Structure 1
Amino acid sequence: MDLFTNTDPKSLNLLPKDGIVHYFGPIMDRRTADEYFQKLLVAIPWEKDVLVMFGKRLETKRKVAWYGDLPFDYTYSNTTKTALPWTQDLFSLKSMVEAAAGETFNSCLLNLYHSGEEGMSWHCDDEKELKKEGTIASVSLGATRKFVFKHKSTKEKVEVLLDHGSLLLMKGTTQTYWLHRLPPTKRVNGPRINLTFRTIVENSQ
């Protein structure tokens, strides 16, 4: 970024075309981020994610949890989860994210990565339950990790480092034209919690 311009980094689109991604950087101070990380690590009823591939049920090392305004069902990787009611900490984080993003969300998928060796493969968040072209707000707590986008047609890639306490917004047609992943790495030893705030369309239930 040019230090001699007044461009707000939150207004910069990280993608060259076919979508909108804004990286806000940290939206809370480090002490607050540390407190949320520790609280969520202990209080959330983490469960291993389950994938069904070629008829086989596979469990991931990564753990997940699913929350929402209502007991929304959310199906991905051929498995369905039912949302738990918000905890006070999650509701506070949601309010913070909504204030920063200028949008509202009714659900959140949490992922716990115990170390850099755990990641997420290429995918897009385009499940039928989600609001079409709705914004997805991704909050990172814990270890800084690389996040990568890849255009479905041109294979162009865009990388961004997600810092402790940071916010990333994926908007518009991003999920239509771009895949994203969290690549595993042996260079990161610490754990990371990722919260992706979403909007479930109620009439999809």
Structure 2
Amino acid sequence: MTEGPCADNGQSCQELALPDAQLQYWPEWLNAKDAAFYFQQLLDELEWQQPELRLYGRSVPIPRRQVWMGDAHCSYRYSGVSFEPVPWHPLVKQLTEKLNQQTGHEFNAVLLNWYANGEDHMGWHSDDEPELGQSPQIASVSLGEARWFELRHQRLGMQLKLMLQHGSLLLMAGDCQHFWQHRVGKMAKAQHGRINLTFRKMIKIAK
């Protein structure tokens, strides 16, 4: 892992050298004051949901709460369930514009996950649905208590653990979603909440 500018704004950025992936990590993408403001406002103002997914033939509530948000056409299907986006919250739209300027991408949808404590988690998966295009670019912004983010290569057996800090940004690009899976596992020491925003660019799929 090397550290360099990653952009022209002078923020400290780490390039994570992994096979079959391009990862960049900004530990302090948002300053502590702004990150705390976004965290509290989103926690209080969003209508957090706990949908049920189809797993092994039965419906199971997800072990966290979430909101799917974005442009009107950005419907999304995951584990047998279709999600329609809620309209943009002004603060999330503000973050999206800042992120697009930072990365040069054009994200148009975001999945927000609320982890109330260390019991809330997300299992191993790749963000490789057809609606995300051929080589998905996924940007992850973390607010609140730091949690371990784990990645594993599906062929080489390599693994990586990265502690995602309050106000940080992780950009996963290249072939990452084709070769790597990721998760946020349970973490007994985590006593406080975390909000994670994973931004994507959704494309229209011909039916």
Q: How high is the TM-score relative to the length of structure 2?
A: 0.91
- Partner of 1:46: helix, strand, or coil? coil
Question: 1:204 Cα deviation (Å)?
Answer: 4.7
**Structure 2 CA distance for aligned equivalents of residues 173 and 35 of structure 1:** 34
**Structure 1 CA distance for aligned equivalents of residues 70 and 170 of structure 2:** 20
Q: Deviations over 1:23-80 (max 9, x none)?
A: 1112111111001000000111100032101221111230011111114210111111
- Partner of 2:27: helix, strand, or coil? strand
The corresponding residue for 1:187 is: 189
The corresponding residue for 1:122 is: 124
- Partner of 1:42: helix, strand, or coil? helix
AA in 1 matched with 2:4: T
AA in 2 matched with 1:76: Y
**Structure 2 CA distance for aligned equivalents of residues 168 and 49 of structure 1:** 26
The corresponding residue for 1:83 is: 85
1:127-146 correspondence to structure 2 within 5 Å:
127-146=129-148
CA contact (8 A) 1:98 1:104 kept: yes
| 2:9 pairs with 1:7 | no
Size of the aligned set, in residue pairs, is 201
The corresponding residue for 1:70 is: 72
**Structure 2 CA distance for aligned equivalents of residues 31 and 64 of structure 1:** 24
CA contact (8 A) 1:128 1:204 kept: no
**What is the percent sequence identity of the aligned residues?**
35
The corresponding residue for 1:203 is: 205
AA in 1 matched with 2:192: G
CA contact (8 A) 1:24 1:166 kept: yes
- Partner of 1:195: helix, strand, or coil? strand
Question: 1:172 Cα deviation (Å)?
Answer: 1.0
The corresponding residue for 2:45 is: 43
**Structure 1 CA distance for aligned equivalents of residues 200 and 38 of structure 2:** 19
CA contact (8 A) 1:106 1:198 kept: yes
The corresponding residue for 2:103 is: 101
- Greater CA drift, 19-28 or 190-199: 19-28
Q: How high is the TM-score relative to the length of structure 1?
A: 0.92
